[in-house]
């Protein structure tokens, strides 16, 4: 069999794609769909707003994630369509911060949620700021709460981490999760979270350790064991104080595992605090006992939306798929793509539980990673495969190739057992780490633009290339959160 015949034999189940008529019909259908979407722009008022942030979700991640998800369904993968792919309006956002070409999550999430760019490490403040000079910038969550809307924050990282904290906190150092290490005069992130308890109806994620003291004996982990926190001094159990603040009212609940979350009745629950891990939640591929008792991101989003949507004035919800970023930093590519899959499923849940008529959904990333997807491989190449002598040249130092790689990271010079045959065995595991071009202990963020997806009221404004701050402006405009709301025609009409 000739080489070109082998190439086509790999895609026999897609023989229909070899005809001109197939592609003609596909492109014509796409055009009709696009004409319909753009001829009927949704200019309604956004009663509800959901912002999804895939932490570290670069365009390489969304593309590789699409193929990964498709292959799990038995397809080649490239032709698969994700929930994000189906959003009608798409643009890109510049991610640089005020002081760095390559940003962090604090600066980028602050830009998305406040409309103001700041410096790396800073949350909810201008760059030239400290804890006493009143340089806080208002977030879209805080604006929504002022208007009587319900609000929520859902994440797979700790609830005090940079991205979720950017919805409610104002602090010059993102790592001041608790009073331990916080500079004198600064209120730590967990304390700020507690102080906002009446304005945030749903809080779901990790971060239990920052919510109670080292000497507490009444806080249990997801397995029912006593755990210690990192807060110092008396009356530092913020979990117990959260419970006490709402009294014995059964409509206000604290949960710490999947079973307890499943038992929550949205129709009778007004306030819900769920802390499912001491710090970050587990990767979905980790398959540890702890991961089995933690809810998934789609499950948390479902519960949050069902609770928040009871408010006749509407709601604002921030959702972070935070473990995409954590996996990329470790160059655990399969972990990152599984987290992307969970993120996409969570977006699908939100779409199913809301209506495009009154709910603006924006899905984007805070920043990307130096992650690449592609190589000279055939259609449908698995993420468990490495290149061999039969289908790919080896480089001069004998290292293997795969369809993913990182610009920097820990797997720069793999040990001998990973070379040749060993590379294939290692690639078949979930812990597979692709090669990196530059040696570093951990992989870094990228400085690239990120994709912004949008659906619902005013979603057509998400198009072209903009600063990340533009996202906050679109949200304020669509949901009538700004000071000029009374001057806008769509704001004078009920959603």
Catalytic residues: 105
Relative to beta strand 202-206, strand 150-158 is parallel
**486: left (phi > 0), else alpha (psi -120 to 50), else beta?**
alpha
User: Roughly how many angstroms between the first and final C-alpha of the chain, as a whole number?
Assistant: 64
C-beta atoms surrounding 178 within 10 Å: 24
> In which order are the strands placed within the sheet that holds 436-439?
371-373, 404-409, 436-439
Q: Tell me which long-range contacts 38-43 makes (C-beta under 8 A, separation of at least 24).
A: 38/460, 41/460, 42/356, 42/357, 42/456, 42/457, 42/458, 42/459, 42/460, 43/457, 43/458, 43/490
Structure tokens at 323: 């473990």
By residue count, the chain amounts to: 495
CA neighbours closer than 13 Å in the CB half-sphere of residue 354? 34
- Strand 271-275 and strand 202-206: the pairing is parallel
- Residue 151 CA to residue 79 CA, distance in Å, equals 37
* Distance in angstroms (rounded) separating the CA atoms of residues 433 and 428: 10
Q: How far is CA 213 from CA 158, 179, 222, 229, 234, in A?
A: 16, 10, 17, 5, 8
Residue among 454, 393, 400 at smallest CA distance from 432:
400
Distance from C-alpha of 107 to C-alpha of 180, rounded to nearest angstrom: 22
Strand pairing of 202-206 and 252-255?
Answer: unpaired
- Asked if 297 and 343 count as a contact pair (C-beta separation under 8 A), the reply is yes
DSSP one-letter code for 296: P
**Gap between the Cα atoms of 340 and 473, Å rounded:** 26
The enclosing H or E element of 113 equals: helix 105-114
């Amino acid at each position: 069999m000739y080489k070109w015949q082998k190439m086509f034999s790999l895609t026999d189940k897609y023989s229909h794609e070899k005809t001109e008529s197939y592609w003609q019909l596909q492109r014509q259908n796409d055009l009709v769909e696009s004409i319909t979407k753009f001829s009927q722009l949704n200019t309604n008022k956004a009663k509800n707003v959901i912002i999804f942030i895939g932490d570290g979700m670069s365009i390489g991640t969304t593309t590789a994630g699409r193929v990964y998800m498709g292959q799990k369904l038995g397809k080649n993968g490239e032709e698969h369509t994700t929930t994000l792919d189906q959003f009608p309006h798409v643009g890109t956002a510049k991610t640089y911060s005020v002081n760095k070409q390559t940003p962090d999550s604090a600066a980028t999430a602050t830009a998305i949620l406040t409309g103001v760019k700041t410096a790396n490490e800073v949350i909810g403040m201008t760059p030239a700021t400290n804890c006493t000079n009143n340089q806080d910038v208002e977030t879209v969550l805080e604006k929504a709460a002022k208007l009587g809307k319900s609000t929520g924050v859902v994440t797979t990282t700790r609830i005090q981490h940079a991205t979720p904290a950017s919805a409610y906190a104002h602090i010059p150092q993102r790592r001041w999760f608790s009073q331990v290490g916080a500079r004198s005069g600064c209120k730590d992130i967990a304390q700020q979270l507690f102080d906002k308890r009446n304005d945030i109806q749903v809080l779901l994620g990790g971060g239990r350790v920052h919510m109670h003291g080292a000497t507490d004996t009444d806080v249990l982990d997801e397995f029912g064991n006593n755990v210690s926190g990192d807060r110092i001094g008396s009356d530092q159990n913020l979990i117990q104080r959260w419970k006490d603040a709402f009294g014995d009212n059964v409509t206000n609940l604290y949960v710490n595992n999947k079973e307890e979350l499943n038992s929550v009745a949205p129709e009778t629950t007004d306030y819900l605090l769920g802390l499912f891990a001491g710090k970050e939640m587990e990767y979905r591929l980790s398959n540890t006992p702890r991961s089995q008792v933690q809810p998934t991101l789609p499950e948390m989003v479902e519960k949050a939306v069902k609770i928040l949507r009871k408010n006749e004035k509407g709601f604002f919800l921030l959702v972070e798929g935070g473990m995409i970023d954590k996996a990329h930093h470790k160059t655990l590519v399969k972990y990152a793509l599984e987290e992307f899959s969970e993120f996409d499923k969570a977006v699908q849940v939100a779409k199913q539980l809301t209506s495009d008529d009154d709910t603006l959904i924006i899905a984007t990333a805070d920043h990307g990673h130096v992650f690449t997807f592609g190589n000279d491989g055939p259609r449908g190449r698995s993420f468990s495969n490495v290149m061999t002598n039969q289908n790919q040249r080896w480089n001069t130092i004998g290292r293997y190739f795969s369809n993913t790689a990182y610009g920097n990271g820990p797997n720069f010079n793999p040990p001998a057992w990973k070379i040749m045959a060993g590379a294939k065995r290692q690639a078949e595991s979930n812990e597979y780490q692709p090669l990196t071009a530059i040696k570093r202990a951990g992989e870094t963020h990228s400085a690239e633009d990120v994709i912004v997806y949008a659906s619902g009221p005013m979603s057509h404004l998400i198009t072209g290339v903009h600063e990340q701050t533009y996202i906050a402006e679109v949200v304020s405009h669509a949901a009538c959160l700004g000071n000029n709301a009374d001057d806008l025609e769509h704001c004078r009409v009920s959603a």
